[in-house]
Amino acid sequence: MTTQAVDPCYTKREVAQDWLKISTRSLDRLIEKKAWPKGILVGGVPRWRHSTVVAAIDRLEQADG
């Protein structure tokens, strides 16, 4: 039997404050500008997979040059 690693999900607050060190409103602005993915809705609340957060940060770094 093989086991798969679980890709944890993060809340808007966790992504904004813990990962990006910005306010949740600033994260909303990034989403509005399509510079950050909308995330997946879980019970009507957006969540972001760990792998999505890392990939989005990589894209922001590349765009910033």
- Please give the Cα distance from 47 to 2 (Å, whole number): 27
Domain containing 35 equals 9-64
Note the pLDDT tens digit of each residue in 3-62. 677 889 999 999 999 999 999 999 999 999 999 999 999 999 999 999 999 999 999 888
Higher pLDDT, 2 or 39: 39
Q: What are the counts of helices (DSSP H) followed by strands (DSSP E) for the chain?
A: 3, 3
The answer to whether residue 20 sits within a structural domain is yes
The pTM is what? 0.83
Count up the domains in the chain and report the number: 1
Q: Is residue 23 part of a domain?
A: yes
Q: Is there a domain that residue 2 lies in?
A: no
Is 1 part of a structural domain of the chain?
Answer: no
- What pLDDT is stored for residue 65 in this prediction? 64
